[in-house]
Amino acid sequence: MSAELYNNQERHLVAVDCIIFGYEDGELKLLLFHRGIVPAKGEWSLLGGWVNTDETIEDAAERVLMQTTGLKDIYLEQVHVFSEPERDPGGRVISIAFNALVDIKKHNKELVREHGAHWWGISELPKLIFDHDQMVSKALEKLRQKASYEIIGDRLLPEYFTISDLRTLYNAIFQTEFDPGNFRKKMLTLDALKKTNRKDTSGSKKGAFYYKFKTDSKINMGKKIKIV
Amino acid sequence: MSAELYNNQERHLVAVDCIIFGYEDGELKLLLFHRGIVPAKGEWSLLGGWVNTDETIEDAAERVLMQTTGLKDIYLEQVHVFSEPERDPGGRVISIAFNALVDIKKHNKELVREHGAHWWGISELPKLIFDHDQMVSKALEKLRQKASYEIIGDRLLPEYFTISDLRTLYNAIFQTEFDPGNFRKKMLTLDALKKTNRKDTSGSKKGAFYYKFKTDSKINMGKKIKIV
DNA sequence: ACAAAAGTGTTTCGGCTACACCCATGC
DNA sequence: GCATGGGTGTAGCCGAAACACTTTTGT
């Protein structure tokens, strides 16, 4: 069993591209980068990086995110593999798209600025290079699906937040307006949130209680996948 | 813009592994292979193949399936990328797992026999090489999710089938017993099936009408992804 | 006649929806 | 007091689940 067993086979460049979601000012946002290398230098793109021999693709995505945003322990999820031979005019690159959910408040703004990055509202994205538009579209689809089955705020919101914050996040994700009363009831029946006794008075005169996620997160939405 | 732009980067072997689902005798089955090359020669594995430079990973999966089973136009869906550096003792191979749904009746049995393949019931699989067990587990999860949102029989069942056939397939997929009456009603409300006037009398004295899928398949199960 | 699967009907239950309606407070 | 968002209550609707019941026909 040597490493040369498969030597007759073609080898490929493998990359990861990260769709970095954040949430700020009631809007779902994506972190995009001015591409620093040819081809398409200077255009907007997702955060990408090469996969090395001694790491998994998840490791690679984590490393690239750490180097660029200073964040660690980021939620990552595979989205889709893009492998059109001509997708990157610079050469044949197989790229795995990853969803990354980050708390905008926490990332290292210096690092990000250095890398020529900018947060864009989900509904006003610029044209992206290559097939990155497709990646974003798949990523959003996946994010919505995920958000349908579990509360995903724990990665996008700060530690303490109000139910209204959570609702506004969901409004942004699904581009709709959820009924405040029904939304609250649904979220509370899931038994994933812990009420604190502090209030946020910035949003209303009455003030809204802060909640936080229970430690055993990963609560599902009760919508069991089930047919018939 | 030359093909040598990215020449400093490490290149990797990229493979596809196909989880080939079929349905026969009321059981969900997987097509497994006696591996023909070292390492792990002779052990059971999924159908795998290398990705070439001039093709997408989907092309590669299609090609491998065609060469091995003689089938074309097979339903394929990406499942997950497996990239542990040590997952294959023969070398660092990044593998993309694909779900393939085939009509067992249609494949080229000669070709398959030549390749030392065998259909295994989903509940009595042998130990598989490498991380192929994990692949199967992810594949099943994905299949169930898919089956929850759309009727998937059109790839696994013959052209004409009874509602009972469809129910038995679903029973096999979800390892449960759906209520015959409720199942029938649910499937018919989806408006995806077309009744014929021929009957299958093999299953009962009364006989059951054959149905076929409406041409515009891809009907979803009415379970809209929706929260609140 | 009877067994056995096909197919229909009925009742109950729980969750979602669409509201109406209090509550607390800053102005 | 009144406007504003926070928070609670409730009636109606709809689909899932459970299960009784009717139909058909080979034996």
pLDDT in tens, B108-147: 888 888 888 999 999 999 999 999 999 999 999 999 988 9
Q: How far is the CA of A177 from the C1' of C16 (A)?
A: 15
Tell me where in chain A the CATH 1.10.10.10 domain(s) lie.
153-213
From first to last of its 228 residues, what are the pLDDT tens digits of chain A?
A: 344 678 889 999 999 999 999 999 889 999 999 876 666 677 899 999 999 999 999 999 999 999 998 888 899 999 999 999 999 998 999 999 999 999 998 888 888 888 889 999 999 999 999 999 999 999 999 999 899 888 888 899 999 999 999 999 999 999 999 999 999 999 998 888 999 999 999 888 999 999 999 876 555 554 443 444
Q: Is the peptide bond between A89 and the residue preceding it cis, with omega within 30 degrees of 0? A: no
Contact partners, residue B124, CB within 8 Å, separation at least 6? none
pLDDT at position A3 is 47
Residue B219: is its pLDDT beyond 60?
A: no
Which chain D positions come under 7 Å from a protein C-beta?
3-10, 16-20, 23-26
Query: Is residue B69 a contact partner of residue B49, using CB atoms and an 8 Å limit?
Result: no
Q: How far is the CA of B219 from the C1' of C10 (A)?
A: 29
Residue B34: is its pLDDT beyond 50?
A: yes
Nearest to A227 among B78, B96, B148 (CB): B148
Q: How far is the CA of A49 from the C1' of C26 (A)?
A: 52
- Taking the C-alpha atoms of residue B107 and residue B113, their distance in angstroms, rounded to an integer, is 11
Q: Is the peptide bond between A158 and the residue preceding it cis, with omega within 30 degrees of 0? A: no
Tell me where in chain A the CATH 3.90.79.10 domain(s) lie.
2-147
Q: Once rounded to an integer, what is the mean pLDDT over residues B31-54?
A: 85
CB pair distance less than 8 Å for A5 and B90: yes
What are B58-95's pLDDT values in tens digits? 999 999 999 998 888 899 999 999 999 999 999 999 99
pLDDT at position B224 is 42
Which chain C positions come under 7 Å from a protein C-beta?
3-9, 16-20, 23-26
Strands A11-24 vs A93-101: parallel, antiparallel or unpaired = parallel
CB pair distance less than 8 Å for A228 and B186: yes
Cβ within 7 A of any strand D atom: A 162-164, 180-182, 184-185, 203-209, 226, 228; B 179, 181-182, 186, 189, 201, 204-207, 222-223
- Sign of torsion over alpha carbons A174, A177, A181, A182: negative
Instruction: Output the CA torsion B40→B41→B44→B45 (10° steps).
Output: 70
Residue B228: is its pLDDT beyond 70?
A: no
- Taking the C-alpha atoms of residue B77 and residue B191, their distance in angstroms, rounded to an integer, is 24
The pTM (predicted TM-score) of the whole model is 0.91
Query: Is residue B55 a contact partner of residue B139, using CB atoms and an 8 Å limit?
Result: no
Nearest CA in chain B to A148: B227
CB pairs under 8 A between A and B: 133
CB pair distance less than 8 Å for A81 and B78: yes
Fold of A2-147: Nucleoside Triphosphate Pyrophosphohydrolase (3.90.79)
pLDDT at position B185 is 93
Domain formed by B153-213, architecture:
Orthogonal Bundle (1.10)
CB pair distance less than 8 Å for B186 and A11: no
Helices marked H in chain B: 57-69, 109-114, 132-149, 153-156, 163-174, 180-189
